[in-house]
């Protein structure tokens, strides 16, 4: 891609980011994006086939980073020996959420698109996907506790879903509200303390 093409692409990205942040994916106008970017519709289609493809280009790699980092933490924890898992529970998840927080602040607008403006795209399911993964991980950990002779009392599946969903919504609220990063770090630690204590109580640990 030559310099002129890169400049045109940058203008499209800038216009698209503004339009999507203001109106959301569903209400955003491709015509407005093209107009704000100062390019012709034909020129736009030389880069992207649709509004959907443009949105994918803006947020896809950021969505993948967040989900992949979360899955990596789950895998690392699952591969820890059963005897070590109870002691590693908070550190593994804490490192993951801290990294995701820093990444989100480095790519704040794109992450806000995913969290607040992606209805109508596959990206709107980020929290749902994380909840599904976390739920499976929780069930696997409960089996580990049982095998260690430390079985957990029964946890109602509906309550489990509510608590896990609430945890992720709480985490992403830090990003949505754009609080100063140092405050967000502090709130993250407080949030982890709160949820860890609650889960340990429910699990009888």
- Same domain for 41 and 69, yes or no, is no
Q: In the prediction, which pLDDT does 92 show?
A: 85
Q: Which CATH number is 37's domain given? A: 1.10.10.60
Residue 3 lies in a domain: no
- Same domain for 105 and 181, yes or no, is yes
- Please provide the size of the chain in residues: 205
Q: In the prediction, which pLDDT does 2 show?
A: 77
Q: 191 to each of 31, 187, 200, how far by Cα in Å?
A: 42, 6, 14
Residue 53 lies in a domain: no
- Same domain for 79 and 33, yes or no, is no
Residue 103 lies in a domain: yes
For the segment 49-89, what is each residue's pLDDT rounded down to a tens digit? 999 999 999 999 999 999 999 999 999 999 999 999 988 88
For the segment 97-127, what is each residue's pLDDT rounded down to a tens digit? 999 999 999 999 999 999 999 999 999 999 9
Residue 52 lies in a domain: no
**Which of 1-10, 95-104, 133-142 is least confident?**
1-10
Structural tokens at position 134: 């976390």
Query: CA-to-CA distance for 133 and 21, rounded, in angstroms?
Result: 28
- What domain range includes position 166? 59-203
Q: What percent of the chain has pLDDT over 70?
A: 100
Residue 146 has pLDDT above 90, yes or no: yes
Residue 182 lies in a domain: yes
Residue 185 has pLDDT above 70, yes or no: yes
Residue 180 lies in a domain: yes
Q: 135 to each of 18, 81, 164, 203, how far by Cα in Å?
A: 35, 20, 7, 14
Residue 2 lies in a domain: no
For the segment 6-19, what is each residue's pLDDT rounded down to a tens digit? 888 989 999 999 99
- Same domain for 32 and 74, yes or no, is no
- Same domain for 35 and 127, yes or no, is no
Structural tokens at position 81: 């020996």
Rounded average pLDDT over 124-137:
96
Q: In the prediction, which pLDDT does 95 show?
A: 92
pLDDT band at 1 (very low <50, low <70, confident <90, very high): low
Residue 51 lies in a domain: no
Q: What is the pTM of this model?
A: 0.92
């Amino acid at each position: 891609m030559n310099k002129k093409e890169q400049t045109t692409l940058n203008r499209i990205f800038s216009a698209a980011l503004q339009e999507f942040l203001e109106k959301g994916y569903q209400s955003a106008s491709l015509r407005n994006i093209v107009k704000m970017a100062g390019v012709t519709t034909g020129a736009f289609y030389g880069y992207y086939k649709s509004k959907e493809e443009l949105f994918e280009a803006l947020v896809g790699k950021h969505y993948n980073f967040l989900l992949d980092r979360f899955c990596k933490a789950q895998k690392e924890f699952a591969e820890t020996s059963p005897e070590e898992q109870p002691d590693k529970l908070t550190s593994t998840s804490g490192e993951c959420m801290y990294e995701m927080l820093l990444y989100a602040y480095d790519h704040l607008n794109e992450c806000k698109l995913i969290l607040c403006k992606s209805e109508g795209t596959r990206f709107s399911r980020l929290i749902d996907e994380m909840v599904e993964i976390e739920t499976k991980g929780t069930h696997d950990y409960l089996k580990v506790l049982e095998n260690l002779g430390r079985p957990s009392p029964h946890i109602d599946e509906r309550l489990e879903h509510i608590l896990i969903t609430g945890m992720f919504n709480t985490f992403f609220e830090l990003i949505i509200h754009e609080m100063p990063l140092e405050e967000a770090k502090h709130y993250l630690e407080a949030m982890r303390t709160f949820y860890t204590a609650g889960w340990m109580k429910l699990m009888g640990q």
